[in-house]
Amino acid sequence: MRHSIIDIVQSQVIASIKEEADLEKAARSNVNIVFILTGNLITMDGYLKKLKAAGKTTFIHIDFIDGLSNTKSAIKYIAEIWKPAGIITTKSNLIKYAREEGLMTIQRLFLIDRGALVKGIEIAHNCKPDAIEILPGLMPSVIDKLTSMTTLPIIAGGLISTKEDILNGLSAGALAISSGDPKLWNLEL
């Protein structure tokens, strides 16, 4: 049974692991969702086991995992062997494949200008991910605008470095904020 991402968010801060050294910090943190943005075909199984043993819901950012190809069979392998809750990607075709395999999906969008914003929302509406992650996340006015353009949950990330950054994003309408800074993973939000 597929869950809604809204239903699984307990902590509104999501740990975004970019280095293996932060794996243990994420496992011990207050967050309940972890985005894995590092690793390879050999290390991923161990990362997932460690985080799942700590009660974390895991998402693999497949664009950053060394050795994975952008194919339907790679998604099938992830779903059947690694069994994360879902994937994160910038590639809309992989969103479709992951949904077919029962994985939750997060479409990552880089908002560099208004054209990227409009095109990103159009792509997301076509591929229907469970949520959108926007980067950079330091744009409360853009987050607010996005919430009027889509019913998809918004996760903001990128350049988040303070509790105030997180609170501003949440106040603007983001469901959660992803951060690679372990100091922010134990906030009670």
Band (pLDDT 50/70/90 cuts) for residue 189 is confident
Report in angstroms the alpha-carbon separations of 78 from 10, 13, 17, 150, 189.
Answer: 24, 25, 18, 28, 30
Q: What is the pLDDT of residue 83?
A: 97
Our CA angle for 128, 175, 7, nearest 5°, is 75
pTM of the model: 0.96
The answer, yes or no, to whether residue 176 has pLDDT greater than 90, is yes
Alpha helix segments (H runs only) across the chain: 5-8, 23-28, 44-53, 72-77, 92-100, 114-127, 140-149, 163-171
Q: What is the pLDDT of residues 60-105, one digit of tens each?
A: 999 999 999 999 999 999 999 999 999 999 999 999 999 999 999 9
User: Above pLDDT 70, what percent of the chain?
Assistant: 99
Ordered by start, the domain boundaries in the chain are 5-184
The answer, yes or no, to whether residue 188 has pLDDT greater than 90, is no
Q: How far apart are CA 184 and CA 36, in angstroms?
A: 16
For the chain, what is the mean pLDDT?
96
Top-level class of domain 5-184:
alpha beta
